[in-house]
Amino acid sequence: MPLQELRTEIFEWKQRGADRAGTMFPEERKDGSPRFGKLHFPVGLWINSPKKHFAKMSRRWPSVGSVKSTSSDTASRGSETVELRPPSKTKPSRHKRLSNLFHRSVSSTGVGTAGAGGRWASEKKLSDLIDPVPEDLVELSSQRNLPGILKIFGGDISCGANYKSVLATPRSTARQLVREALERYGVAPGDGEEDTVGGYVLCDVVGRFTGPGGAWQAEHLRPVGDTERPLVLQDVWKPKAGCSRRFEIRRRHEVERAFEAEDNETAGINAQARRLQKSRSRAASGGTVVPKERADNLSLRRSISDMNLSAKKRRERKNIMSMAGGEAVPPGDDGVGDEGESEATRSKELESTDSSINPTGTEEPIDGASLEQLSQCLIQPPTQNPYFLLLQSYSEKQDFVIYVMTRRRHVFGRPERRSQADKGGYVDTFLCAPDILPRHCWVRAADPPPAKGTALVRPFRGAMVTHNGGPLLREAELHPGDLLGMGQHFLFMYKDPRASQPRPAWLPKPWASPCLAGAFSCQACGRSLQERQEAWRTYVESRQPELRYRPQEEEALLREIIRGQGAGGCKLAPAFLLGLCVEHSARVLEPGHLPKLVTKIAHLVKEAVWEKIKEIGDRQPENQKDKSQVRVLSIEEVATDLRPLMLWMANAMELLNLIQKKMLDMEKELELEGTSQDVLLSGDLEMCDEAMAVLDEVIMSTFQQSVYYLTKTLYSALPALLDSNPFTAGAELCPAQDLSSMPEGTRGTLAIYQATLELTRECELHPDLVSQTFGYLFFFSNASLFNTLMEKGNGAPFYQWSKAVQIRTNLDLVLDWLQGVGLGDIATEFFRKLSTTINLLCIPKTSLVKASWSRLRNEYLALTPAQLHHLLSNYYLGLGRPYPEAWSPLPEEQDKIASSDIFESFTEHPPLILPIEGFRLCLSEPVGDDALHRQLCRMRRLVWDLEQEALPANQRAGYALEGTP
């Protein structure tokens, strides 16, 4: 039974008889009582039913309803005394009337409720039912036994730190405490101390410890003003029961962003509430009710009509009636009716207005709702914020005319229910249409005050967006007056009242065309033949890094670029031209074209490199059919064969860097579009990764083939360094550029090094790849010479002082020459073991025989015990001279020496590491190299010729093309 009905029946029952206003005992209750006969349940149950009903009504306080009564249950309720009192003259409050109605006396069991004033035991204050927090945990930032010390928590700015303690007094301001806390956290200052302190704010955080582990859960956060005093706040304002309070230091922009989101939510809720209130007022006054779907719309959109209509409602109604009747509104009349104006006068004015609008009387008069709809048409646009003017919509009942940009980054999308795992992002304006994505596009306004009002617009992946009538595929500039279309139903005009209104950019330009033929040979654009030819010459001769083409001519263009590798004087022209193709695809063509283009380029480069490798292999002597003419190729012939491979290694490295930059841009787009739009973009990234892997394979293959043929030539020239005598007549024992004056034993090795260095410089190879190429050659030279030296010790006496001095001299000449060309550091590192071995053999015999095994092991750490034992055991001391006992290895090393190898392994070569900086090509600056510019002009003319060939003969350009480079 509802509580109001029960209360009414009790009051009527009191008025029927005064004799029933006294106290009723259980034995006086009769079955024939009209009151109880009507209800058909016992008195005790009737008395307790309101209590249960009251508990149900109070379910918004779950802690109150869950507390059990301290009195006994049904058994004791039958003996309780119930007092029914007549109503007083002054109407008591609902709480007091219920308390008096169900007032209890002392229970028969002796359990009293004196503390509660005779009320139910479950009728307690909410603060008494909440588990109290210990006093030492109420204020987490301070302790009673440590006055003057304030704990400032800063887990958001310092990972792993819980809090830092600072000294504070009641006069300490929040800004001073922030400065001290930042010093304790070790936050590095910026340009100035004030800039660093201003970037953080002290926050008063109220929360509680939840969960089995007692994790801190913040419930309310308030930024503390810079001049406020935290210790005073602790004394004056206390957290509510069951909560704790602590001071935290947070980044100011994060706190402001959180409050901005709350403000937007609050504004949306208030706008929705105003619409609901408006519809209710119309229904109460008999007006037309706004359609339900409009009132129940969950998108909470904000418009200028919501902000201005409530303040100017009556004035705009009167303006509309005056304009409709052809009357002018007096200057001083604000449209607000006088309180003393009679209803008849208002009705008369309204009738006269209706008759002036409809003189024939065939149409119904305008009611209040229609006037309000007309008033929305007279609302002025905003003057301080950019906005979007709706030109075409999908639903007239749900869409507004003006959408104001309240944030710098404005996101359009479709309302949808999102899961907790999908954290897409905030949507400012909801558009209800089937072809609108949950996040369709965003517009970022310019910094105020804008110079030209230029904003940026960018569609999300898969969204259909048009800009000034053309498809928008990537980020572009948005100027005031531009047309922005979304899907097939919405069309907006972007307006920025803060900037001057230029000529509308959506007016079609006569020369705008995706192809060169339409841009420079169109006869409908109004330009003369000379003007069109001059425009074409300007484009062809331009030094801007731009190469325009259509997808139809892409295949022929790419193959021509690959075929012209190494021609024209510029060695990096293929990488530069292919990079321009990638840039054109990313900027002009549709997004899905870029991964296909990158894959096509990678496979064309790989195909060209494989053909060159096969040609070089066929020219090798061991692969010739006539075995009688087998000879060793000279270094000049090897360098000529390796030149195409070196060129492709240099171009592939530069091209890989340009593609990686585009990959980074695509990954940024993937992060920006969120988790619900990443399917297509993820597939594009995977395709680009595969193409980059192909380019990596090209670089690795060209590097391996180059060092293979160079080391093959070195293998036959290196033994002369061990066998030749540099102290011959006519030889100069100093490094020189002219290798003919160097000792004969060093000429062959130095000639290979010199040819390799000239080849890498001619091909413009990346400096890091040059260093790694010579690092591999030096590694091979050191291992080959060392292994040959180990082999020579087994035969005739070779390990002696005189022979070691000759080898040392040849090696020093080579190292000095390498130092002069800038490769000394790399050579010293890789020739360390060979130099150590020669230094050991250069020790005079008389000094060497006095050295012990332990001393030699400590001084020549580059040699293994097995290698050192081999050198000493085969050292030539003279005929009949015994082996010194001091050279014998230690007993614990003899077994290891017997099982160890004395030769160097060729498999432990240094790995190839691709560079990440120091590249030569840049696609954002004008072309300064003349040879590269000639190649660019040649490709532009090629695209022009291909387009002209595809046109009918009567549509081809009829002017001459002489004078172009």
Structure tokens at 194: 């004030």
Q: Considering only CA atoms, which of 492, 524, 493 is closest in space to residue 508?
A: 524
Kind and range of the H or E run holding 893: helix 891-899
> Residue 79: inside a domain, yes or no?
no
Same domain? 576 vs 695: yes
Same domain, 540 and 491: no
If you average pLDDT over every residue of the chain, what do you get?
75
Comparing 544-548, 627-631, 714-718, the range with the smallest average pLDDT is 627-631
Question: What token pair was written down for 511?
Answer: 């020369």
Question: Could you tell me whether strands 149-153 and 244-251 are parallel, antiparallel, or unpaired per DSSP bridges?
Answer: parallel
Same domain assignment for residues 855 and 942: no
Buried b (16+ CB within 10 A) or exposed e, 210-237: eeeeeebeeeeeebbeeeebbbebbeee
DSSP-derived secondary structure letter, 830: H
Residue 469 confidence (pLDDT): 85
Lowest-confidence range among 148-162, 344-358, 636-650? 344-358
Do 460 and 548 lie in a common domain? no
Report the run of H or E that residue 665 belongs to, with start and end. Answer: helix 635-673
Q: Which domain holds residue 392?
A: 382-415+425-495
CB burial string 277-289: b at 16+ within 10 A, e below: ebbeebeeeebee
| Residue that wins the pLDDT comparison between 343 and 658 | 658
Nearest to 435, CA basis, from 457, 465, 411: 465
What is the average pLDDT across 867-872?
91
Query: Helix or strand or coil: residue 681?
Result: helix
pLDDT of residue 173: 92
Domain identity same for 662 and 566:
yes
pLDDT at position 348 is: 46
Sign of the CA dihedral with 797 first, then 802, 805, and 809 last: negative
Q: How large is the angle between the packed helices 744-762 and 801-820, nearest 10 degrees?
A: 20
- Is 70 exceeded by the pLDDT of residue 70? no
Secondary structure of 514-525 in HEC code, one letter for each residue: CCHHHHHCCCCC
Instruction: Pick 45 or 949 by higher pLDDT.
Output: 949
Residue 208: its H or E element: strand 200-210
Q: What is the H or E stretch that residue 645 is in?
A: helix 635-673
Q: Would you say residue 360 has pLDDT above 60?
A: no
Query: What order do you get walking across the sheet with 429-430 strand by strand?
Result: 429-430, 409-413, 441-444, 455-459, 476-478
Bigger pLDDT: 373 or 914?
914
The answer to whether residues 511 and 519 touch, using CB atoms and an 8 Å cutoff, is yes
pLDDT of residue 705: 95
Q: 965 in a domain, yes or no?
A: no
Q: Is residue 313 part of a domain?
A: no
Inter-residue contact 612 to 566 (CB < 8 Å): no
Q: Looking at residue 629, what is its pLDDT?
A: 60
What is the C-alpha separation between 536 and 539, in angstroms, rounded?
5
pLDDT for the residue numbered 3: 53
Sequential DSSP letters for 799-867: BSHHHHHHHHHHHHHHHHHHHHTT-HHHHHHHTHHHHHHHHHHTS-HHHHTT--HHHHHHH-TTS-HHH
Q: Which residues contact 579 (CB under 8 A, 6 or more apart)?
A: 654, 655, 658, 921, 923
Query: What band does 289 get if pLDDT is binned at 50, 70 and 90?
Result: very low
Express as a percent the part of the chain with pLDDT over 70. 65
Q: Any idea of the CA torsion for 68, 70, 74, 75, to the nearest 10 degrees?
A: 150
Tell me which of 685 and 507 has the higher pLDDT.
685
Region 12-18: what's the mean pLDDT? Answer: 53
Q: Is residue 478 predicted with pLDDT exceeding 70?
A: yes
CATH value at residue 203: 3.10.20.90
Residues 940, 886 share a domain: no
| pLDDT greater at residue 807 or residue 534 | 807
What DSSP string runs through 137-175?
GTBTT-BTTBTTEEEEE-TTTSTT--EEEEE--TT--HH
Residue 554 has pLDDT above 90, yes or no: yes
Q: 954 is written with which tokens? A: 């009567």
Beta strands in 548-634, from DSSP E residues, in sequence order: none
* Percentage with pLDDT > 90 across the chain: 32
**How far is 333 from 311, CA to CA, in rounded Å?**
15
> How far apart are alpha carbons 533 and 66 in whole angstroms?
90
Tell me the pLDDT tens digit for each residue of 747-759. Answer: 999 999 999 999 9
Between CA 962 and CA 965 the distance in angstroms is 9
Residue 279 has pLDDT above 70, yes or no: no
Supply the CATH number for residue 392's domain. Answer: 2.60.200.20
d(CA 865, CA 858): 11
Identify the pLDDT of residue 442.
92
Q: At what angle do helices 679-717 and 593-618 cross, to 10 degrees?
A: 20
Mean pLDDT throughout 829-857? 93
The whole-number average pLDDT for the span 289-317 is 42
Name every residue whose Cβ is closer than 8 Å to that of residue 85 and which is 6 or more positions away in sequence: 21, 100
Q: Where are the alpha helices (DSSP H) in 122-251?
A: 126-129, 174-185, 193-198, 230-236
Q: Tens of pLDDT along 158-210?
A: 765 688 889 898 899 999 999 888 888 887 665 454 567 888 999 999 998 88
pLDDT band at 608 (very low <50, low <70, confident <90, very high): very high
Interval 439-468 mean pLDDT: 82
Residue 852 belongs to some domain of the structure: yes
pLDDT of 119: 39
Q: First vs last Cα of the chain: how many Å apart?
A: 100
Distance (Å) of CA 574 to CA 38, 578, 720, 897, 921:
102, 6, 41, 55, 11
Question: If we measure between CA atoms, which residue out of 264, 263, 266, 296 comes closest to residue 279?
Answer: 296
Distance of CA 95 to the CA centre of its chain: 57
Last residue of a domain, one of 466, 495, 524: 495
Pairing of strands 387-392, 429-430: unpaired
One-letter amino acid for residue 128 of the chain: D
Q: What is the pLDDT of residue 531?
A: 78
Say what the pLDDT of residue 505 is.
Answer: 66
647 or 945: whose pLDDT is higher?
647
Mean pLDDT of 329-358: 43
Is there a single domain that holds both residue 676 and residue 576?
A: yes
pLDDT band per the 50, 70, 90 thresholds, residue 18:
very low
**Can you tell me the mean pLDDT for 784-792?**
93
What are 213-240's pLDDT values in tens digits?
778 888 888 999 989 999 888 888 888 8
Question: Span 265-293, mean pLDDT?
Answer: 55
H/E element, 679: helix 679-717
Nearest to 810 by CA among 871, 749, 730: 749
Q: Which residues pair with 209 in a beta bridge?
A: 216
Both 553 and 486 in one domain: the answer is no
- Checking if the pLDDT of 833 tops 90, the result is yes
Taking only Cα atoms into account, the Rg of the chain, rounded to an integer number of angstroms, comes to 46
In sequence order, the 6+-apart residues with CB closer than 8 A to the CB of 782 are 830, 831, 832, 833, 834, 904
Alpha-carbon distance of 471 to 101, in angstroms, equals 75
Q: Which stretch, 280-294, 391-405, 655-669, 817-831, has highest mean pLDDT?
A: 817-831
User: Do the Cβ atoms of 845 and 860 come closer than 8 Å?
Assistant: no
Q: What is the mean pLDDT of residues 365-388?
A: 69
DSSP string, 23-41: EE-GGG--TT-HHHHHHTS
pLDDT band, residue 618 (cuts 50/70/90): confident
pLDDT band (50, 70, 90) for residue 508: low
| Residue 691 exposure: Cα atoms within 13 Å on the Cβ side | 28
CA distance 605 to 553: 18
Q: Are 382 and 404 in contact (CB under 8 A)?
A: yes
Question: What is the longest distance spanned by two Cα atoms in the chain?
Answer: 150
Q: Measuring CA to CA, how many Å separate 653 from each of 74, 647, 657, 920?
A: 90, 10, 6, 10
- Rounded Cα distance, 498 and 454, in Å: 11
For strands 490-495 and 387-392, give the pairing: antiparallel
Q: How far from chain centre, in Å, is Cα 228?
A: 37
Omega prior to 449 cis, within 30 of 0:
yes
pLDDT tens-digit readout, 93-115:
444 444 444 444 434 334 343 33
Distance CA 875, CA 467 (A): 86
SS3 call for 926: coil
Same domain (yes/no): 163, 243: yes
Same domain, 825 and 676: no
Looking at the domain assignment, is residue 661 inside a domain?
A: yes
Helix (H, G, I), strand (E, B) or coil at 444: strand
840 lies in some domain? yes
Residue 457 lies in a domain: yes
* Last residue within a domain, chosen from 495, 520, 545: 495
> Do 477 and 553 share a domain, yes or no?
no
Q: Which amino acid belongs to residue 662?
A: K
Look at residue 232 and tell me if it is in a domain.
Answer: yes
pLDDT of 9: 60
Predicted confidence (pLDDT) per residue in 889-900, tens digit: 988 888 888 888
pTM: 0.54
Query: Which residue from 50, 65, 212 is spatially nearest to 129, judged by alpha carbons?
Result: 65
For residue 447, give the nearest of 476, 497, 405, 408 by alpha carbon: 408
d(CA 963, CA 393): 54
| Angle at 582 (CA atoms; ends 576, 588), nearest 5 degrees | 130
In SS3 terms, 539-561 reads as: HHHCCCCCCCCCHHHHHHHHHHH
- Count of domains for the chain: 4
Torsion over CA: 757, 762, 767, 768 (sign): negative
Q: Which three-class secondary structure state does DSSP give residue 204?
A: strand
Chain position carrying tokens 């004078």: 963
Regarding whether 679 and 552 lie in a shared domain, the answer is yes
